[in-house]
Chain A
């Protein structure tokens, strides 16, 4: 594709094509679908976090009007376990099928399910189910100590070496380092809190199961549910047209999904199950609490000589979700001696899961905080400290970076922020009676591709249809797909129909890992080329076609027209004309691209592929009333080519808002006695609101990374959240003199 084509819609700010549906309320989210005879299900949540069900008395509930059934272990029917398959299929964090045994391992674990004619009746019935437990003290201790674990441990995504990376002799180098830092950083459990609650509507038609889901990965959902109900994959269909955000919580199926399907199977009617906000805190994943000991050694001139990260994270009693805090540590800085190692601690909590920037976000909070502290200790400007330790290659893999422009990010960010005006002394900067604090940090996030397939039609009315079974989780995937199809077909955006979010479509990528855009690009380009090939055959074989008797390779396709290469594009005939002449509604092409992630890591990659970035933050501090506010953020991102700067900017801004929440407010508080996530609602779980969000400035460097895909686009969904909390804690220290090493920076820590 000619990058410079005048008509190009790639790289231009395009408003979301699905925007009008959303603002007019016509976008159909999963729980908006209604069916005749639909029944409503409400789960009954365990009110202990550790123990056993002694007695479950559903008699009163069963007698209530409109109640169809109370399901529990004895009557739910068989639900099989699932295992990880090839590629991105079969992933499920909480493997234990719901109701499998009577053991309660976390607060809110489902113990029964009420199904009734209306939601209200189902809720009332759920409340009327009496459950008694034998109760033991739950372990939700915030102090994480690594448990005895073998060197290689099983995790949700496969085996992991606890010694993640090692080079040189980090202990000796640290011991002899002239300047040292040894600190532990803590990030709390956080809950995703997408505005749309999770839910499933399950419909059986004989042996065919259809699920309306708000899934970030419909094909994985299909694979897991097929296993759980012992069905061939083809017998399960998952539909996800719109998602009201996921932040990772909707990546993999949670236990409510099979429950809805099992209830629908038993009752022979469609069943809808939508979680409450409280359940979203209990049974639908959260960011694991982490405790990370960072040891850094440097020369007085500011060259790192040793870097050690020893981290521990919480996990649930049965599951093996891995919070990979070491994701970016081993390659981000040049350091000859390094070790990254992790340990785990079981807690009576619902399983942690991926949350926007999993692993790297808490991980970079720790590494970047340590870098900032060490820079202060060395009396070197933190930006300069990064420059001094910029790696030439990925030192953990020994391969070059595909495209890394972190120094340029730092330079541009510092310039836009006016960083050179910073005076390093604590409390030394003032404005309008407020103390200012300036801080910065860098960011990194993996860049890779999942496998993807797509299908394109060029149609006789001059429109095109692009189909790809991926999801739009609010990030703008509808628009990106339309842009790609429009570009290749040479039509305007309004002439593109986009079909996604349905497993009956060609298999699309997971909306996770910030990889959807990067993954669909090669598949869509290949599909379009394939469709064009068919079109040229139509052009040369249709009787009466202006190109009849020409050979395919004499022709070319550009801007929606077919022409003889020798005669130039001006002589072109629109594809719609050719199709009509051939009496064809459309020609179709399909395309496929392989994964660079999630497959067996057989051979060493040729390049180290990541996105990079940095944040510069100003906070204001008013000591008289202990008021800390984020006042200004400048973010610079090196995330490859930006396909849509409008939705792209929106991703970074959204991530920064979430980063303000992470730094200042967010934490899921477990009750020490009964183990409940006690602030399980959006009034008590404090997140940033509009009034907390200052002016956000976002810049993209826009260097294409051709190692990722032909357009050079990497992902941008998560990187904006990496580093921001460390920049805010650094700014807070600069303003107040207080070092916060355990997030969030609440008022009580500043007083």
Chain B
């Protein structure tokens, strides 16, 4: 860990002004906001993040969960993951989100972690976290040690020859399936962006993970009203039974009437370089009868472009089984 200066922002303007002085809001940022700290502090200890200034944003007035006039939900950027997961409206109308959060980390971590922090959590690629290793994300141009190394847990979708790092978040996968919108206040304006456009594919700039610019402060996330008669579910597969990131996961939001699927939203976790919404799977499902054959086709479609590495070929099959099973469970008549 390098020496750094810690300050606390008492209003959003102060935070934004402080953050705006950074040269980048991406890897290598010299100024960082800190929320729960469960990602940032770890990476600072490892010298992967080396900000000179750290601005505490937990006192900003974005700690509430409110229902919106249109029936949607507004989730403050500082809402703790545990509060969000146990919120009655979330449990009832957005079960997939509650389940996703509760499947991740540990109660202690979820008590600290925030909505914005979770959206921005970094990959668990072991080479990214070790400064002695080549890593294009951490040190652009240095190479990718994972492609030729230990890559069992890394991505098979959205990868590039420069980086195959997985976005590890469970919450983000649920937010993708729920078509969440991220609200950002920056130096110039306040704008919003669908979650599908918020995270970037690695391409040849894996150090750029989101659209955020210096000073950009996430203030809240909104969810559209729950689709009528929809049911949602999150299924997470991993080696051990608890306290591990996903090898594959699926967030599904499905409306089925009389056995027929009228609307489907599908996102996969543990396999993509970003929270992996699958319009291909959704297209296979929409208008079809909820049968295993249809689910299988959807799974095939979702994984069609998968590019496995030396150690993670099994993820292709695992992700398919995960999605099929999630669809089976969510369409089961109670």
Contacts and interface: CB of A to CB of B under 8 A. Distances in A.
Interface of A: 47, 120, 123-124, 127, 624-627, 629, 664-665, 669, 671-674, 676, 678-679, 683-684, 686-692, 746-748, 751
Given A624-B325, A671-B150, A676-B133, A689 B240 contact: yes
Given A686-B244, A692-B240, 6 more contacts: A624-B321, A625-B321, A665-B239, A683-B124, A747-B247, A747-B314
Interface in B102-161: 124, 126-127, 130, 132-133, 145, 148-150, 152-153
Contact of B148 (A624, A673, A747): A673
Contact of B1 (A123, A627, A692): A123
Nearest to A674: B133
18 contacts: A123-B1, A124-B2, A624-B328, A625-B322, A627-B237, A629-B241, A671-B150, A672-B150, A673-B145, A674-B133, A676-B130, A679-B126, A687-B240, A689-B240, A691-B241, A691-B242, A748-B152, A748-B314
Contact of B325 (A120, A625, A674): A625
A664 B240 contact: yes
Nearest to B326: A625
B47 interface: yes
B334 interface: no
A627 B239 CA distance: 8
Nearest to B152: A748
Contact of A692 (B124, B153, B242, B318): B242
Given A671-B145, A676-B130, A747-B247, A625 B241 contact: no
B324 interface: yes
Contact of B239 (A124, A669, A671, A747): A747
A625 B149 contact: no
Contacts of A625: 235, 237, 321-322, 325
A627 B235 CA distance: 12
B3 interface: yes
Interface string B237-258: 1011111100100000000000
Nearest to B314: A748
B321 A679 contact: no
Given A669-B150, A683-B124, A684-B126, A624 B324 contact: yes
Interface SS of A by simple majority: loop
B242 A689 contact: yes
Interface in B278-332: 311-314, 317-318, 321-322, 324-325, 328
A244 to B, nearest CB: 19
Contacts of A692: 240-242
B156 to A, nearest CB: 13
Nearest to A671: B149
B150 A665 contact: no
Contacts of A679: 126, 150
Contacts of A686: 239-240, 244
Contacts of A676: 130, 132-133
Nearest to A687: B240
B3 to A, nearest CB: 7
Given A120-B1, A123-B1, A678-B130, A689 B148 contact: no
B149 A751 contact: no
A47 B47 CA distance: 15
A751 B244 contact: no
Contacts of B2: 124, 127
A684 B166 CA distance: 14
Contacts of A120: 1
Given A691-B240, A692-B241, A751 B325 contact: no
B67 to A, nearest CB: 34
A692 B247 CA distance: 17
B291 to A, nearest CB: 15
A751 B248 CA distance: 13
Contacts of B241: 629, 689, 691-692
A124 B324 CA distance: 49
B36 to A, nearest CB: 16
A747 B240 contact: no
B240 A751 contact: no
B149 A672 contact: yes
A319 to B, nearest CB: 24
Contacts of B240: 664-665, 686-689, 691-692
Contact of A626 (B3, B126, B237): B237
Contacts of B148: 672-673
Contact of A673 (B1, B149, B311): B149
B76 to A, nearest CB: 28
Contacts of B328: 624
Contacts of A127: 1-2, 47
Contacts of A690: 242
Nearest to B148: A673
B42 to A, nearest CB: 9
A751 B124 contact: no
Max chain B Cβ within 10 angstroms of own Cβ: one of A47, A664, A751? A751
Interface string B220-243: 000000000000000101011111
B1 A678 contact: no
B317 A751 contact: yes
A684 B318 CA distance: 19
A56 to B, nearest CB: 15
